[in-house]
């Protein structure tokens, strides 16, 4: 190899490095944390009622012959506001939705529901994240479909968007 050809080796290595870096940056790996509870029975938990006259939620309420969508949310969560109209749409389609409010207080949740709608059948409070951890949830909003026998069948990380309603409805039908 000539001396001139050897001078191109560092340039070719640099171009290869830049191409590899650009490829990895253009398609980053999925960084969402999937729950290991999908396919398992609902963990034991109790989320006390957050609002007067509204039932809380516990593991004994699930698996009673009807599927449920459990939505972890918070009044301080901006994506939860964006998800609220979609949850109302799912409720209109027959999805029974229960909620667990994370690290929240009743006044803030009451205002959130007044401003954004209330699709929830039961509304429990998880002031320190115990139920969230039991489900294997890593943030808000996050939703789980629990089948009629109390088995977690589906996890949706992040806000459910209008274009994802079909996917959620298909999972709901499977859980019947």
Query: Could you say which of 3.40.50.300, 3.20.10.10, 3.40.30.10, 1.10.3720.10 is the CATH number of the domain covering 46-174?
Result: 3.40.30.10
Domain residue limits, the chain = 46-174
Q: Does the reported pTM lie above 0.85?
A: no
**What pLDDT is attached to residue 9?**
74
Residue 95 has pLDDT above 80, yes or no: yes
53 Cβ neighbours under 8 A, 6+ residues apart: none
Half-sphere exposure of 106 (CA within 13 A, CB side): 9
Instruction: List, for residues 51-91, the tens digit of each pLDDT value.
Output: 999 999 999 999 899 999 999 999 999 999 999 999 999 99
Q: Where residue 141 falls among pLDDT bands split at 50, 70, 90? A: very high
The tokens for 77 are 């969560």
Say if strands 68-73 and 97-102 run parallel, antiparallel, or are unpaired: parallel
């Amino acid at each position: 190899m000539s001396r001139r050809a050897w001078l191109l080796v560092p340039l070719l290595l640099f171009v290869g490095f830049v191409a590899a870096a650009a490829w990895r940056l253009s398609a980053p790996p999925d960084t969402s944390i999937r729950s290991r509870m999908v396919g398992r029975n609902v963990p034991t938990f109790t989320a006390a009622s957050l609002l007067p006259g509204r039932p809380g939620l516990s593991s004994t309420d699930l698996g009673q012959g009807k599927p449920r969508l459990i939505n972890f949310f918070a009044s301080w969560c901006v994506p939860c506001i964006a998800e609220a109209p979609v949850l109302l749409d799912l409720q209109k389609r027959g999805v029974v939705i229960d909620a667990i409010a994370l690290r929240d207080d009743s006044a803030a949740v009451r205002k959130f529901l007044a401003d954004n709608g209330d699709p929830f059948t039961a509304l429990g409070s998880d002031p320190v994240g115990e139920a969230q951890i039991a489900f294997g949830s890593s943030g808000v909003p996050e939703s789980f479909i629990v089948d009629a026998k109390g088995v977690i069948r589906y996890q949706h990380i992040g806000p459910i968007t209008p274009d994802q309603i079909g996917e959620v409805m298909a999972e709901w039908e499977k859980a019947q």
